[in-house]
Structure 1
Amino acid sequence: MDTREALGSWIDGPKAAAEKMGADFGYRGERLGLPKEGPGSMAGPGRRIGALFVDGWLVSLVAYGLLGKGTASSANLWTTPLFFGVTALLLATSGTTVGKRLFGLRVVRQDGRRATIPQVLLRTLLLCLLVPPLVWDRDTRGLHDKAVGTVEVRI
Structure 2
Amino acid sequence: MSQSFGDLAPSVYPGERLGLPESGPRSVARVGRRLIAVCIDWALASLPAYLLIGGPNAMWWHLLAFAALQIIFIPTIGGSLGHRIVGLHVVPIAGGWIGLWRPIVRSLLVTLVIPALVWDSDQRGFHDKIAGTVLIRA
Q: Deviations over 1:5-42 (max 9, x none)?
A: xxxxxxxxxxxxxxxxxx98422101001112221111
**1:88-127 CA distances to partner (integer Å, 9 max, x unpaired)?**
0111211111111111001001134331211111111111
Task: From the superposition, tell whether residues 63 and 24 of structure 1 become closer, same or farther in structure 2 (CA, over 3 Å).
Answer: closer
Q: Is the 8 A contact 2:10 2:121 kept in 1?
A: no
Give 1:42's match in structure 2, choosing from 2, 12, 28.
Answer: 28
Structure 2: which 5+ residue stretches go unaligned? 1-8
Q: Which has the larger radius of gyration?
A: 1
Q: Does 1:132 align with 2:84?
A: no
Report the RMSD for the aligned CA atoms in angstroms: 1.6
The normalised TM-score by structure 1 is 0.78
TM-score of the superposed pair, with normalisation by structure 2: 0.87
Alignment partner, residue 92 of structure 1 = 75
Runs of 4+ in 1 over 3 A off after TM superposition: none
The answer to whether structure 1 residue 63 and structure 2 residue 43 are counterparts is: no
Among all aligned residue pairs of Structure 1 and Structure 2, give the percentage whose two residues are the same amino acid.
43
SS of equivalent to 1:38 = coil
Q: Specify whether residues 81 and 24 from structure 1 end up closer, same or farther in structure 2 by C-alpha distance, changes over 3 A only.
A: closer
Unaligned runs of 5+ in 1: 1-22
1:115 aligns with 2:110: no
Matched positions, count: 130
Deviation at 1:76, TM superposition (A): 2.0
